[in-house]
Structure 1
Amino acid sequence: MRIVFRCDPALRETLPRPLPASQALPAWLREMPGTAFSDLHGRDVRTVKQCPPFVDAMRHGFVMRLPCDVVVADGRFSWDWDLPPLAGETQPRSPLSFHAPAQVAGSPLAAEGRTLIKFNSFWTIELEAGYSLFATHPVNREDLPFRTLTGMVDSDRFNAVGILFPAAWIDERFEGVLAAGTPVAQCFPVSREAMSLAFEDLTPERIDAHDDVANALHATPGVYRKIYRDKRPSSDR
């Protein structure tokens, strides 16, 4: 899958580039223990750090990043970003803008006093034909003070302008700096090919297989990772 990112030539050397999500994992994932004591079980149990589906989801696709520091104080957002002159007339010049709260009225996103922001993108994204861009909150990043809304854009066709990533600011007590490079959206291509859903009974052979795999999973740690998990290709470029 080839994904093409483009930006204004004046920003090419200074604008944070989208990163493979595998290169933007949070420090807490690296630092958390692999096991922890469970009062329920009376012994140490493996943490999500040892759960391949949990980690693989965080490593999937790429992340769009905040282009500069944003200071949050007294409910206000500010930044000091000296942008050079840009070639186009309509490109954004601020790292974020805002949505009117009425745009989410009647939805679970609506909350008294909640701020709705948009992370502006200075990169355009072009996908191969037949693919859309699925964009969502950085996976399992409950530590971030915002929640990026999930959306899907047909970026094989819509790629002349950057995508805006709307988000609800959920931590009203947050005071400080949202640092440049912070992941603001996690994205991956999805095929628009229609799905065909099939429903079948478990055959005796599949029931036996179910028992074999379930017993192996309970008996030995790492069965999924060692036998079933596919080795992910590198996405460093």
Structure 2
Amino acid sequence: MRVRFRCDPNLLASLSPPVPARDALPDWLRSMPGMAASDMHDGAPIRTVKQCPPFVDAMMQGFVMTLPCDVQVRDGVLSWNWDVPALATGTHPRAPMSFHAAAQVEGTPFVRGEQLVVKFNSFWTIRLDPGWSLLVSHPVNRDDLPFRLLSGLVDADRFHEVGILFPAIWLAPGFEGVLPRGMPVAQCIPVRRDALTLDIGAFDADEQARYEATARILTEETGHYRRVTRA
């Protein structure tokens, strides 16, 4: 699967690029323990999500779009000092972030008091192969970020002349600090535009036997999914 990224020629040398999601895992995942004492198990150690392949594999799926410069957040104000060169494309955005009108989410669960609806501007166009769309979501399992990206699906095999903009709800009105250059702002996963057929029914005898056999293995052996079935 080839994903083609293009940007204004005057930005290519200095712009932070998209990166494979596996290369943008957070520090807390690397540093967290693999085992932890569980009060529910009388203090016995149990495996943490660090040892859960589905949890980690979801975080490594696709690629992430990153913030092109540091953004300072202080007293509810977002600011940046980004020395953007003269661009060859006159209609191209120059600011890393902008805003949506709050009325655009009126009637949704995203309205919580006076929270801002921010927008991460994109400086890259994204082109997929024919028949593929791009599922754009908040970086998976990244509740440490002070915003929540709104999910969307873009037919990026047909829409790729301009960049995709990434709207988000700002969740932390009291946040003070810096959103660093290179921080993931959106996780993007290519998906095929194939119609689904839902085949629903009860176990046959073979399926029931395999269910019970696999369930026993998962109970008796540690790491079966990781060792045997994980792709």
TM-score (norm 2): 0.99
Structure 1 residue 89 displacement after superposition: 1.2
Q: For each residue in 1:175-205, what CA deviation from the matched residue of structure 2 results, as whole angstroms up to 9, or x when unmatched?
A: 0100000000000111111111111220111
2:7 corresponds to which letter in structure 1? C
Secondary structure in structure 1 of the residue aligned to 2:64: strand
Q: Aligned partners of 2:12, 2:154: CA distance in 1, in Å?
A: 24
Alignment of 1:215-234 (within 5 A): 215-230=216-231
CA RMSD in angstroms comes to: 0.6
1:104 corresponds to which letter in structure 2? V
Unaligned residue ranges in structure 2 (runs of 5+) = none
Secondary structure in structure 1 of the residue aligned to 2:114: coil
2:126 corresponds to which letter in structure 1? I
Q: Aligned partners of 1:206, 1:139: CA distance in 2, in Å?
A: 32
Partner of 1:12: 12
Q: Aligned partners of 2:54, 2:37: CA distance in 1, in Å?
A: 22
Q: Aligned partners of 2:216, 2:136: CA distance in 1, in Å?
A: 37
In the alignment, does 2:120 pair up with 1:119? Answer: yes
Percent of aligned positions with the same letter in both sequences? 56
Q: Aligned partners of 1:207, 1:41: CA distance in 2, in Å?
A: 30
Q: Aligned partners of 1:96, 1:33: CA distance in 2, in Å?
A: 35
2:93 corresponds to which letter in structure 1? P
2:87 corresponds to which letter in structure 1? L
Partner of 1:101: 102
Q: Aligned partners of 1:205, 1:194: CA distance in 2, in Å?
A: 28
In the alignment, does 2:150 pair up with 1:149? Answer: yes
In the alignment, does 2:79 pair up with 1:68? Answer: no
Q: Aligned partners of 1:215, 1:173: CA distance in 2, in Å?
A: 49
Q: For each residue in 1:138-174, what CA deviation from the matched residue of structure 2 results, as whole angstroms up to 9, or x when unmatched?
A: 0000000000110010000000000000000001111
Q: Aligned partners of 1:112, 1:142: CA distance in 2, in Å?
A: 20
Structure 1 residue 212 displacement after superposition: 0.7
Secondary structure in structure 1 of the residue aligned to 2:168: strand
Secondary structure in structure 2 of the residue aligned to 1:206: helix
Q: Aligned partners of 2:52, 2:26: CA distance in 1, in Å?
A: 16
State how many pairs are aligned.
230
Q: Aligned partners of 1:193, 1:218: CA distance in 2, in Å?
A: 36
Partner of 1:34: 34
1:211 corresponds to which letter in structure 2? E
TM-score (norm 1): 0.96
Unaligned residue ranges in structure 1 (runs of 5+) = 231-237
Q: Aligned partners of 1:88, 1:15: CA distance in 2, in Å?
A: 15
